[in-house]
Structure 1
Amino acid sequence: MKAEPTRRQVLAGAAVGAGATALLGGCSQPALPGTLSGTDWQRGHLIREGRFPAPSGPVEEIDILIAGGGVAGLAAGWRLAEAGFTRFALFELEDAPGGNGRSDRNAISAYPLGAHYLPVPNREARALRHMLRGFGMITGEANGAPVYDPLQLCADLEERLLWRGKWQEGLVPQTALSNDDYAQQARFTSAMSGFREAIGRDGRHAFASPMALSSTDERYRSLDRQSFAQWLDEHSYTSAPLRAHLRYCCRDDYGSEPENVSAWAGIHYFAGRRGWAAGADGDREMTWPEGNGRLVRAMADRIALHLRLARSLIRIETDGSGVLAHVFDHRASATRIVRARAAVLAMPHFVAQRIAPQHTASGHFTYAPWVVANVTVSRPPRGKGAPLAWDNVSAASESLGYVVATHQTSSADGGPTVLTWYVPLSRETPSQARKILMTRTLQAWQRIVQDDLLAMNPDLSGAIERIDVWRWGHAMVRPEPGFLSDPARMAAQRGAPPLWFAHSDLSGLSLFEEAHYRGVIAAESALAHLAHPFESLA
């Protein structure tokens, strides 16, 4: 264990009220080039409205159908390919796979449209390590622990914080905290360390990643019956700087305020990860210019011949010992029928409910909306104090700051770069936030992003050349109190031949390692159902 707290332990400060004004739009700025994009909600709403032509053409016969090309669906396809199984097809609504791990690029750099890093996996994440080894990201072993290719790990400087007008290395404020702030910080860090090392009565870690491998001990599961904010109040964590950090953490991983996050999930943020790697690399993060786009592209390349893009699964039902699916081809404007011996629905629960209502139960699933802006600048940000880092956060901003796309390559050469800026719309209800996403103009978003960046880095004045905005209406499931025992989530986890579910919704935590795990175990269930030999990686 490190003696000093990390990013996931203390970020004091953050004058939330002051930062919130930045997202209201400040001084008027000149219009900039850019695009306003996002997931194809029009295709998604077609499923809700059910306006499709009658099926035509011959019935396609396959063994396994995967519906959804996000991380879980790609992981399911990857697992089938690893097992030498080739008689499957993956159908994805969008024109490109990847879900919220998607990326894009311009003449300067690739950049993420959503998730931008993967923590070094835990020892229990066997399937994920197997995949990283296959992709050449794990290169060997030392003293029994995996050795990671250093080029896949975040380069120095990893992170910096704008604190009281000056950038400092790391996200832990170094000055101007009261004795009580320091005492509460130490107490919270100690409590999280205890949870991190705790073992339940069933012999499992209290908090694991993937979360399905966590202990079922009621001492820990009972934390899910209250919000993280309630738990903090109950344990007298009243320090304003500490509470500001914990709000940042909940918004960073869950897109939600502490009042809307289960205490179990809030603690899992700090206690669930014990990265396993040789040397001191266990506490590090893997990142690339395109973020997790590197991983989803590698999975998609592995199963490229099986991908069917721009196709929506609009209905699926059991048909004897298999399934019968109606698939709409958006490019051909035609509905086809696909018969499969087994199916994996790798999609959010609210979509699965419309496609397979007879196989899904109603549950309390809510989703956090996000905005991601990729900002092209003619020169990198600087600022007083610590030099530019990969992750740059302001304690006074309502945004979550920005990451530097070229940090792994050429961010120090003074040339142009791309800054990926993030904000979850967590103050509003999800439905209110989605209305904002649908109605706010590109120019309004550009003003918000530009004002926030210039508040953090006045030195960028005159350097911002373009702002491309990407909207996520249902970016991630929110782990609200009670999510661990939600009947719909529990039912979807179980699945039943010939239909299984695979999505991070089943974990309640919208994280790469969770989606990957769910895809792998669903694929292995389908393989077992078809009596195809394999050795489990889960």
Structure 2
Amino acid sequence: MQRRAFLASSLGLGAMSLAACESKAPIAGGFTGIDMARGHAMRDGALRSAAPGSTRRTRVVIAGGGVAGLAAARALRAKGVDDFVVLELEDTAGGNSRGGVLEGIACPLGAHYLPVPGDDAHEVQDLLEELGLRRRVAGRWAYDERHLCHSPQERLFFEGEWHDGLLPVQGVGAETLAQYRRFSQRVDALQQATRFAIPSLRVPTTAATFGLDAMTFGQWLDAEGLGDAHLRWYLEYSCRDDYGAGVAQVSAWAGIHYFASRHGFHAPGDDNADRDAVLTWPEGNGWLTQRLAAPLGDRLRTGQVVTRIAETRGGVEVDVFDAASKSLVRWQAERCIVALPVFVAARVVENPPALLRRAAAALQYAPWLVANVHLDAPLADRTGAAPSWDNVVYGTRGLGYVDARHQALDPTPRATVLTWYRPLGPSSFDGTDGRRQLLDQPWSAWRDALLAELSVPHPDIAERATRIDITRYGHAMAIPTPGLRAQLGNDGTVTAGRLAFAHADWSGYSIFEEAFTRGHLAGSLPA
């Protein structure tokens, strides 16, 4: 089946599915998980007032309760510093790594897995050991298999049936297979010539790094003669998966880094074709952030909108709007760890230092949508590979879905939750303003888009779905655009006076390992 015919059939099946939906109780749902009004009120200056209603004191303020802020809090506690506060905008901590519950079933609201970390990410390794996820067995590190992704791990709906893995292989031509092998060889060669690692701050910047950083991934592929449509689809999918934008927007360094440091690229016939192991949970990386937040007690304060961070003669002042009491509170401290996205930090830090202004000017962000779909029974399935944890439909704008019950040890078929991901950053699919689309489109429009896409492999999804909750992220992740690494530098800790900046933005892209390492390093700074 040609791609055009495939998409035409997709639309037809989607219409059939929506028609079926009209014959049953309407699907409930709405937007959840993010209070966009709070962030916009901070942006517009609506929460500032002439004077705070009260003043409180602590030794360290951590502004932001995402992965970096939680890692900073853990590092402070490890040093014996208990006099601190974490101020988080939303009602729960965790940032893009939060989990939720839909109809009693745990599910992710954002990031849903963590690859088993390499030795460069030793801070993350230490966390996993602390949480009991890895331990020494006969002198070797072993991971708790209950938390490793169960098999089968991933599959692709391609040419009318499911196939193992995400790289289109069955039915493609000899030239496509040859291009797969050539790309794999180039990744291997670059990996040997230029070190790639996570976190990226552990890798020295070289002339080769700057060369790859200076062009788009698409330009590099063109120069290499790698233009096969199936290869390009897979690389586009991969970049949108980790970076929120496509090969025409991310740098060649980022495109190569995806495979050379984290996921690998395995051409058909590769003797080392097994994907790296990943850790995952029904609630995604919310499993990790919930455990990072739990020991903090009342030192973690949610519903706190940071409106101002300023250095003073003797320390710092941090003004926050408390959503519960609807009052402005001023925190005075010796120092502040600014674990906020860079674009937010640049708005709230008074007289922002040059390094912050430069970073804010250089960074672009990808909006994302995450939809959790409750099903009252398992879906009917097309022929081919068995249901997997990660299920992707070829040629669509979404990134597919993960099944919250895939990690369950009880195989009894029952209700479940599918989590569907849709990046809205720039890509080869369209040039629309994703952020405006995210804000303006009603819930029903996203419901219909989801049902149309997933009805291709699952014609009964509209009949089985009872509720769809959608979480919107207007600035979900930084996009590693060309030249960004040169702009941001490669410092492990970014400081200015009494302020330490800790966020995945300073690495230029958003993954757990980058955020956690930068937060840990900021929290470990000398008092």
TM-score norm. by structure 1 comes to 0.88
- Asked whether the equivalents of residues 102 and 417 of structure 2 are also in contact (C-alpha less than 8 Å), the reply is no
Q: How does 1:117-136 map to 2 (within 5 A)?
A: 117-136=113-132
Q: Contact (CA 8 Å) 1:369, 1:430: kept in 2 or not?
A: no
Between the aligned partners of 2:434 and 2:343, the Cα distance in structure 1 is 17
Which residue of the other structure, out of 158, 170, 175, is the alignment partner of 1:180?
A: 175
Identify the residue that residue 161 of structure 1 maps to in structure 2.
Answer: 156
Runs of 4+ deviating beyond 6 Å: 13-17, 428-431, 489-492
Residues in 2 aligned to 1:411 and 1:375: alpha-carbon distance in whole angstroms: 21
Query: Does residue 1:352 correspond to 2:345, yes or no?
Result: yes
Aligned CA distance change for structure 1 residues 209 and 196 (closer, same or farther; 3 Å): same
- In structure 2, relative to structure 1, the CA distance for the partners of 1:95 and 1:174 (3 Å cut) is same
Cα pair distance change 1:81/1:402, threshold 3 Å: same
> Equivalent residue of 1:261, what SS?
coil
Name the residue aligned to 2:262.
Answer: 273
TM-score relative to the length of structure 2: 0.90
Aligned-residue offset at 1:173: 3.0
Q: Structure 2 matches for 1:48-447, cutoff 5 A?
A: 48-51=43-46, 52-143=48-139, 145-198=140-193, 200=194, 206-273=195-262, 283-356=276-349, 357-359=351-353, 360-362=356-358, 363-381=361-379, 382-409=381-408, 412-427=411-426, 432-447=433-448
- Tell me how far apart the structure 1 counterparts of residues 347 and 431 of structure 2 sit (CA, whole Å): 19
Could you say which residue in structure 1 is the equivalent of 2:524?
524
Greater alpha carbon shift after TM alignment, 344-353 vs 30-39? 30-39
Aligned mates of 1:268, 1:437 — CA distance in 2: 29
Report the equivalent of 2:483: 482
1:298-322 CA-partner distances (Å, limit 9, x unpaired): 1001223310111122111111242
In structure 1, give the amino acid aligned to 2:471.
W
- Kept in 2, the 8 Å contact 1:379–1:416? The answer is yes
Shift of 1:14: 7.2
Superposition RMSD in Å? 2.6
Give the Å deviation of 1:21: 7.7
Contact 2:179–2:226 (8 Å) recurs in 1:
yes
What is the DSSP-based 3-state SS (H/G/I as helix, E as strand, rest coil) of the residue aligned with 1:455? coil
Distance 2:506 2:517 in 1: 10
| Residue-by-residue CA offset, 1:327-348 (whole Å, 9 max, x unaligned) | 2111111111111111100011
Counterpart residue type for residue 116 of structure 2: V
Contact 2:166/2:234 (8 A) holds in 1: no
Q: Percent identity?
A: 38
2:267 maps to: none
CA–CA distance in 1 between the matches of 2:393 and 2:437? Answer: 24
Shift of 1:410: 5.3
Cα 1:514–1:22 shift into 2, 3 Å: farther
Distance 1:501 1:108 in 2: 37
Any idea what the Cα deviations from partners look like across 1:262-312, whole Å, max 9, x if unmatched?
Answer: 11011100011389xxxx999100000000000110100122331011112
SS in 2 for 1:155: coil
Secondary structure at 2:352 match in 1: helix
Which residue is 1:8 aligned to?
Answer: none
How big is each residue's C-alpha offset from its partner over 1:52-90, in whole Å with a ceiling of 9 and x where there is no partner?
Answer: 233344431211110001111111111111222101100
The 2-side partners of 1:422 and 1:20 are apart by 22
Given the superposition, is the C-alpha separation of residues 310 and 22 from structure 1 closer, same or farther in structure 2, using an over 3 Å criterion?
Answer: farther
Cα distance change, pair 420–447 in 1 and its aligned pair in 2 (3 A): same
Sort the Cα spacing of 1:491 and 1:336 in 2 relative to 1 into closer, same or farther, 3 A.
farther
Q: Measured at CA, do residues 251 and 17 of structure 1 come closer, stay the same or move farther in structure 2, by a change above 3 Å?
A: farther
Distance 2:8 2:509 in 1: 27
Q: Which residue identity is paired with 1:110?
A: A
SS at match of 2:59: strand
Instruction: Give the residue type in structure 2 aligned to 1:358.
Output: P
Q: Distance in 2 between matches of 1:240 and 1:355?
A: 45
Count residues with an aligned counterpart: 503
Structure 1: runs of 5+ lacking an equivalent? 1-12, 201-205, 531-538
Give the Cα separation in 2 of the matches to 1:20 and 1:78.
51
SS in 1 for 2:50: coil
The offset of 1:107, in angstroms, is 3.3
| Deviation at residue 385 of structure 1 after TM alignment | 1.3
Distance 1:20 1:77 in 2: 51
| Residue aligned with 1:335, SS | strand
